[in-house]
Amino acid sequence: MKIVERIKQPIAFEMELFEQKFQLSMSSKVALLNRITHYIVNRKGKQMRPMFVFLVSKMVSNGEVSERTYRGASVIELIHTATLVHDDVVDDSNRRRGFFSVNALWKNKIAVLIGDYLLSKGLLLSIDNNDFDLLKIISIAVREMSEGELLQIEKARKLDITEEVYYEIIRQKTATLIAACCSLGAASVKPESNHVETMRKFGELIGMAFQIKDDLFDYGETQIGKPTGIDIKEQKMTLPLIYVLNNASKKDKRWLINSIKNHNKDAKRVKEVIAFVKDNGGLDYAIKKMKQFQADALQLLQAYPKSDYKSSLELMVNYVIDRKK
């Protein structure tokens, strides 16, 4: 059995019911909207985010979920989908998970409006049901994701990023949404309990490990949907590169910065930068940090009694850093 299927096993029923509820939450009276949302729903990914919501919910409450849990999972998925649709417009990207993106098929204006529609649907789903605690968790995540993106853009211009700033960027850009999923799962069944903050922290640690793993793919030999060296071409400063820059001689540092600033479109030069980062311990350092985040996340689960849900969450933590794409 594939690892994702094993993770999903204890919540298979909830995930199936969630699919139905999620499709309903997207519906509209406008035929064009329904056509596009139908296209989006049929090209979904592994659905890790709702899986986090249900697994956490069931782990902290001895196997219970509520209508709030389903709404929380739907809101997260609506808002996450909205950000992906908007991201494709911003990045001028024509593909998403191997299929044409919304903006490639229906142009930017419609894609932006679809993103706005999904965002408002998510907010209204919470407001209409008085889930204000869940809405606060999600709203904080959206704010942080926007701040993280802008911080990364600002720092990419100067290439003056420190390890601390890098962690802040990935915490906001990536980890904050997974943190929201986990705290939502806990809040949906145990509102105002200690579980909400513990699970937020748990999700944040997994998100940090997840993003470092993504950054490592940029130096890998295997094709994972983005070509090797794309981060360097886009002048994105990731942990392997930051570590090597901070520990290089003045001469090497000058060469690295010059390569990234002025020769980032030169395939041969990008290959040389990748080789330099590998040879100078950049990957080893990033792997060490990623494993530390993984260990800290697993440590937080120790407080919970043994259950299928806890086992699935442990599998999920390990899958995040063992995945091949």
pLDDT attached to residue 104: 80
> Which pairs count as long-range contacts for 93-98, CB under 8 Å and 24+ apart, including other chains?
96/43, 97/43, 97/45, 98/225
pLDDT in tens, 139-188: 999 999 999 988 888 887 777 788 999 999 999 999 999 999 999 999 99
Token pair, residue 139, equals: 């709203």
List the single range of 66-70, 93-97, 296-300 with lowest mean pLDDT: 93-97
Nearest of 229, 238, 227, 214 to residue 273 by alpha carbon: 229
Instruction: Tell me the whole-structure pTM to 2 decimals.
Output: 0.89
Q: What is the mean pLDDT of residues 15-42?
A: 84
pLDDT band at 228 (very low <50, low <70, confident <90, very high): low
> For residue 179, what pLDDT is reported?
96
Give yes or no for residue 2 having a pLDDT over 80.
Answer: yes
> pLDDT tens, 44-82?
677 889 999 999 999 999 898 999 999 999 999 888 888
